[in-house]
Amino acid sequence: MTPPAGPVGASPGADRSTDPYLPEHGNGGYRVLHYDLNLDYRVVSNRLTGRAVVTARAGQPLSRFTLDLASRLRVQDVRVDGRPVKFDHRPGKLRVKPDRPIGYGATFKVEIRYGGKPGPVSGRWGDIGWDRLSDGVLVASQPNGAPSWFPCNDRPGDKATFLVTLTVASAYTVLVTGDLVSRRRAEGSTTWVYERDEPTAPYLMSVQIGRYDLVELAAGRVVQRAAITPRARSAFAFDFGRHGEIMTVLERLFGPYPFREYVVVVTADELDDPVEAQGMAVFGRNHVDGRRTHERLVVHELAHQWFGNSLTVADWRHIWLNEGFATYAEWLWSGASGGPSTNAHAAHWHAWVAAQPATIAVADPGVDRMFDPLVYKRGALAVHALRARVGERAFFPLLRSWVAEHRHRTVTTAGFREHAARFSAVPLDDLFTAWLDRPALPPLPEVR
């Protein structure tokens, strides 16, 4: 039965997110299958002109639907399946009313022409999304910055494929998360075309524009390359000198790298923290000092390609599945490369967590604390405790099968608990309840 239309042709649930942490981001009623973005960007004037074609499938009858798009980008025209339609662009939301309802299960295309001066989305985590550098652009969208540069269904569980065409002045190098399909030079400008054919969450799409040198990051089965500024070349060669070994170790522990290539970008500006995107990680110049001071962050960002990017959380409650495993990867690399063992790291961070107020349940930390260091460290400690409980012979097959079975899909804490139980000779409910569901810190077990 078709539900009755609400006010102004509304479809129940069509403008509401299913993410309890960020209900204002993301939209109900449909799933996106593919984004085709054709963009022209002027670096000096910070002017973006865009045409987005969003292919989606209706999950219910739709008399209207919404997309996320930052208010500073002005929408000129919207068409659904080639027909001009009514639309309304209010803060953060593009509301679209097709000239005829879209039936349940139907595939439809939305074409949006838009433009303006892009900038980051401001919120509780600062400025997120499209950000101008001193001479270029950096896009880091976790968790809610994707609408700063394209119209989207901005929730992590709605993964889609992408084709991104971006034209800029020829003096700049453009890197977009995806595989480079073509590069065409014209008078004074170059058009770069990138394709991302693995399902990708909008927040994991990134654009990097700068005066970069492209260099090989490491040789090996996986293509590993880097975009760096000329000034960073010497320090970068040392700081990332073990990247091939890191890739080999993580593939041995977690299974094959899930994408065709991995790209590291080192910007000319300083960044508070490195950021991951699909098949890419972005570091600031302050993370390259010629002393490998930040090598653990190199490992952390690479580990996110398995935990966070290929396996993406269904919603932000489950963020420990990203950050706990990426943090634990740091400890695993340390032990494998001759540094302190995982037991030593676990003991150190258990003592640190014990000194903090016990106020976070890792499996549902709350939106204000989803990036709290306790989620990262205690999440890693939960992984360590699981390893101690199931034993070495079961733990790494457990991880590799978790990665393989959920490749390019979304994951939840409940799903991981069920998966882990298959590899354990003893019950795990008490372990997960203690480490994930309750704020009180359990005693630390030792991996033997």
Q: Which residues are annotated as a binding site for Zn(2+)?
A: 300, 304, 323
Q: How far is CA 51 from its chain centroid?
A: 23
Tell me if 162 sits within 8 A of 35, measured CB to CB. Answer: yes
d(CA 348, CA 345): 5
Rg (CA), the chain: 22
If we measure between CA atoms, which residue out of 247, 337, 233, 358 comes closest to residue 285? Answer: 233
Tell me if 383 sits within 8 A of 377, measured CB to CB. Answer: no
Q: How far is CA 13 from its chain centroid?
A: 25
- Residue type for position 279: G
d(CA 308, CA 18): 19
d(CA 98, CA 78): 10
d(CA 353, CA 385): 14
Q: Which residues are annotated as a binding site?
A: 300, 304, 323
Q: Which residues are catalytic?
A: 301, 376
Cβ neighbours for 166, distance < 8 A, ≥ 6 positions apart: 37, 39, 40, 41, 174, 176, 191, 192, 193, 194, 207
d(CA 311, CA 431): 23
d(CA 200, CA 187): 33
Per this entry, what is the length of the chain?
448
